[in-house]
Amino acid sequence: MSISLTILGKSPSWPDTDGACSGYLIESGGHRLLLDCGNGVLGKLRLQTGYETIDAVLVSHLHADHLLDLVPFAYVLTYGPPVREGDAPLLHAPPGSREAMRRLCGVFGSELLIENAFDLTEYDPADELAIGPLRARFQLVPHYIPTYAIELSDGDGRRLVFSADCGPNDELVEFARGADLLLIEATLTEPDLEDHAHLTAEEAGDIGRRAGVERLLVTHFSADLGADSVRERAAGSFGRPVELAVDGARHDV
């Protein structure tokens, strides 16, 4: 069994021109998982597959650029053709999600919009989670709100690790150690010395090098930074060439 990753959106908290915020399509053993669902992701998803084919959604943290398109996703599951057949897609979200999503949907007049469209559960970050043929593990990482790096592994031992949003931290190094692919953010041009909530490309590369990962895929950066610059800075500290997330690109793990 293999794990396939398709980039739906790699932008930071504002989308690039014709881009989308955080969203990744994970496919394994015929199962389709949407990892994060930031603004603009639903439209990008529909370029790859029908929204009604998604089996589950997994959310790393409760910032808008990682979950906002759950609102239009819920609307189309509720009202739009083609109508999804069978059970509602699973929605695995961090503790506190039910209350947060009710507040979000209340702005549109229906607090239960997301809960009625998805089978929502709040995962326990201390436990492993089975999602179709994949296993998910979680690691708390430093950010403005509780945020979890996520490891997805298959039955053959392949490991994809997603940093989510985070500042420099040793926990991610250990969590990602030896991973086949580390999908890691690189939001900043200069280190965040006050909040330690995001990474520079150099810091992303350093985490990958220290973790000894096989491949490093850099994401969550603005196109305004220049792809060549981001790649060169990350590769300089990783010690090897790195890959950059590009909307629509597919990566096999």
pTM attached to this predicted model: 0.97
Amino acid at the residue 190: E
Closest CA to 22 of 198, 206, 239, 203: 198
pLDDT at position 84 is 77
pLDDT at 248 over 80: yes
Closest CA to 77 of 55, 96, 100, 59: 55
pLDDT, mean over the chain:
97
Model pLDDT for residues 22-46, shown as the tens digit of each residue:
999 999 999 999 999 999 999 999 9
pLDDT at position 52 is 95
pLDDT at 227 over 80: yes
CA distances from 78 to 17, 85, 122, 181, 227 (A): 29, 12, 21, 35, 39
Give the mean model confidence (pLDDT) for residues 83-103.
Answer: 94
Please name the residues in contact with 54: beta carbons below 8 A apart, sequence gap of 6 or more. Answer: 32, 33, 34, 45, 89
Model pLDDT for residues 110-130, shown as the tens digit of each residue:
999 999 999 999 999 999 999
Closest CA to 202 of 224, 225, 180, 179: 225
Domains in the chain (CATH in brackets) are 4-252 (3.60.15.10)
Residue 55 region by backbone torsions, left for phi larger than 0, else alpha for psi between -120 and 50, else beta: alpha
Residue 36 region by backbone torsions, left for phi larger than 0, else alpha for psi between -120 and 50, else beta: left
